Structure 1
């Protein structure tokens, strides 16, 4: 068993990984964004669950509103950006399969975990 309490204090923090799936938390301040037109995970699918806040995902040019309870799948290789469009922090839990980041939050090359 692995357990960790998510604190949502950092912009991005890897919680842990097991069986080729990685969990991370992300907090985006009001008016800020993560990613961008060239951001993509070449080797991993990303499942993003919105815990709190409001925002917008732009995936391959398509816009998707986000709110607490939203679940979004960004498939490997899809270009994406996540924007906070609300007045409070946008807090998400993200799962990457296979892992996309090392323990310090730096991207792994495609195919490495």
Structure 2
């Protein structure tokens, strides 16, 4: 069993995982964005859960408003961007199936490690 108490700092950080799945936390400051036209995870689905804050997820051109408790599934290969549209940090927990990043936060090629 693995476990971790999450303490959201700034930016993106892989926090837990194994060969089949992975968890990472992301904190964006007000007006900050992550992702964009070149942001796709070719080898992994991404589940994004909003812990706190407000924002928007733009997935394949479709906008979804984000707020505390929102859960979004971003299918593998879909272009996406996450934006903080609020006045406080946007904190998200992101699950990748299978893992999408190395422990250092570098993106894995499709097909894994």
Please tell me the TM-score bracket, short chain as reference.
over 0.9
Aligned to 1:89: 89
1:67 aligns with 2:67: yes
Distance 2:2 2:38 in 1: 33
Distance 1:19 1:105 in 2: 15
Distance 1:11 1:19 in 2: 24
Distance 2:37 2:68 in 1: 24
Do the aligned residues in 1 keep the contact of 2:38 with 2:79 (CA within 8 Å)? yes
Structure 2 unmatched ranges of 5 or more: none
Q: Normalization by structure 2: what TM-score?
A: 0.97
Aligned to 1:10: 10
The 5 Å alignment of 1:29-108 reads: 29-108=29-108
Q: CA RMSD in A?
A: 0.8
Q: State the Cα distance separating 1:19 from its structure 2 match.
A: 5.0
Aligned to 1:20: 20
What are the Cα deviations for residues 91-111 of structure 1, in whole angstroms up to 9, with x where unaligned?
000000000000001100111
SS at match of 2:109: coil
Distance 2:28 2:76 in 1: 22
